[in-house]
Structure 1
Amino acid sequence: MGRDGTLRKDAERNRERIIAAATKVFAEVGVHAPVDEIAKEAGVGVGTIYRRFPDRTELVEAVFVGRVERYLTIARECMRIPDAGEAFRTYVQRMCAMQAEDQLVTDVLTLNLPVYPRLPQLQMRLHAMQNRLIRGAKRAGRLRADFTPEDMALVLIANAAIVKALGRDLPQGSPRFVGLTLDGLGTDRPSELPPSVPAAPLVLAMQRPPVHRRPTRGRPL
């Protein structure tokens, strides 16, 4: 194979390695993780990252866009389920199950990322599908009438905490939590809830870095 072909393959391998490393580091540290940490995880030099992704926007989008498209596929599949209550239930189960293998689920659904042009559009499509599933389950009498889209964010945040705390040691913890939660969201004599969570303060709280995330060193990308 010619030199140009070899270089192109090496460049593509480096790109894929960087995206995989950024995915892991973003899940552990957040989207503002330093480039040094991503480079260390990828096993490449910082200069290699800058050559592949001169603008941080390109790297963040490379990580998140693929994830959102994956979640859109799940939402579309659930919307094809004829039973509206089962469609919503399946959606929650599948999204929570994915958190065990992909910790970026919560960020994709909740983070406000206005500087990344493609992501807000995909997020809006995902939220629209999610809201249709919620409305359908309510109309079918399978979901309590006072459930809000912000409550879906609370479910995902709580499940993410369980996944992070129990990890691989107790994998049954998350499915059990989801089962109990879904049964609690049913319409069989539901109790009165406290006031719903306002959307704006919830978004701000989710954007605040958790104090338990491990510290990082190095300069930001």
Structure 2
Amino acid sequence: MSETPLRADAARNRELLLDSAVRLFAARGPDAPLEDVAAAAGVGVATLYRRFPTREDLLLAVADRKMDAYEQVLRTAQAIADPWTAFASYVENFCAAQAADGRLADILTMVFPAAREFEARRMALYNGYLALVRDAQAAGALRADYSPEDLPVLLMANAGVLRATAETAPGAWKRFVAYMLQAFCASHQREDLPPAPTPRQMMRSMQQVTACHGRSAPDAR
């Protein structure tokens, strides 16, 4: 059975709440009081709970909006003919989106490992990324020992850089990512690397981050 479309005013309120949640969560993290989200949207708390009965529902909706942006990063890379430039574009733009997210990056870490609603989109994004990796390696531009799991490690490290430099050196992440791309480039390869984490290890790492967020979060009403 298809969902009943929202009335115009209900749809407008939903978008106002999402806009507000994106701004507040980016600035204050996913534990920002939902009352503040409603106030910033100019609606009552009861309206928020009608649209999003739980904090998780709101986090999922915010993450869904952010997934749109990450899918655009992939489409931009896929439109580039040169395999290395396409791969580098994906990494740079993904990290740029992460930088623009502020503390929304915490939401993506919290939501994606567990939310089945995102499985198809996440896998399509991942498979598109894998194709970029294969093409760049086949062209001899990306070092042969690069592992797809190196990107999640880079994103975790970049999240730390962003948190540490957000107020004092907000562009520091760009230099860090440029250094990493040089390390990934086959022409800069100097020596063999230690083994990359396995996909299972990376998933468990992300779940551990999620668990830590859950232990430190206040009442999620």
Same fold? TM cut 0.5: yes
Q: Deviation string for 1:153-175 (max 9, x for gaps)?
A: 01111111111110143123111
CA contact (8 A) 2:38 2:48 kept: no
Give me the whole-angstrom Cα distance separating, in 2, the residues matched to 1:23 and 1:181. Answer: 29
Q: Deviation string for 1:137-189 (max 9, x for gaps)?
A: 11111111111121110111111111111014312311101111100111133
CA contact (8 A) 1:138 1:145 kept: yes
**Match of 1:158?**
157
Identity of aligned residues (%): 32
Give me the whole-angstrom Cα distance separating, in 2, the residues matched to 1:157 and 1:102. Answer: 14
- After TM superposition, the structure 1 = structure 2 runs for residues 28-107 of structure 1, keeping only pairs within 5 Å, are 28-30=28-30, 33=31, 37-43=33-39, 45-54=44-53, 58-103=57-102, 104-105=104-105
Question: TM-score with structure 2 length normalisation?
Answer: 0.79
CA contact (8 A) 1:159 1:174 kept: yes
Structure 2, unaligned runs of 5 or more: 1-6
Residue 113 (structure 1) aligned with residue 125 (structure 2): no
SS of the aligned residue for 1:143 comes to coil
Higher mean C-alpha displacement, 150-159 vs 55-64: 55-64
CA contact (8 A) 2:113 2:206 kept: no
Give me the whole-angstrom Cα distance separating, in 2, the residues matched to 1:106 and 1:46. Answer: 24
The CA deviation at 1:88 is 0.4
Question: TM-score with structure 1 length normalisation?
Answer: 0.79
Structure 1, unaligned runs of 5 or more: 1-6
The one-letter amino acid paired with 2:193 is: L
Residue 206 (structure 1) aligned with residue 202 (structure 2): no
The one-letter amino acid paired with 1:64 is: A
CA contact (8 A) 2:55 2:220 kept: no
**Match of 1:4?**
none
For these two proteins, the number of residue pairs brought into alignment is: 207
The CA deviation at 1:15 is 2.4
Give me the whole-angstrom Cα distance separating, in 2, the residues matched to 1:194 and 1:55. Answer: 43
Give me the whole-angstrom Cα distance separating, in 1, the residues matched to 2:108 and 2:213. Answer: 20
The one-letter amino acid paired with 1:87 is: A
Give me the whole-angstrom Cα distance separating, in 2, the residues matched to 1:24 and 1:216. Answer: 19
Q: Deviation string for 1:181-209 (max 9, x for gaps)?
A: 10011113331111211222322222324
Instruction: Summarize the Cα distance change of 1:220–1:80 in structure 2 as closer, same or farther, 3 Å threshold.
Output: same
Instruction: Summarize the Cα distance change of 1:22–1:152 in structure 2 as closer, same or farther, 3 Å threshold.
Output: same
- Indicate the RMSD between aligned Cα atoms, in angstroms: 3.0
More helix by share: 2
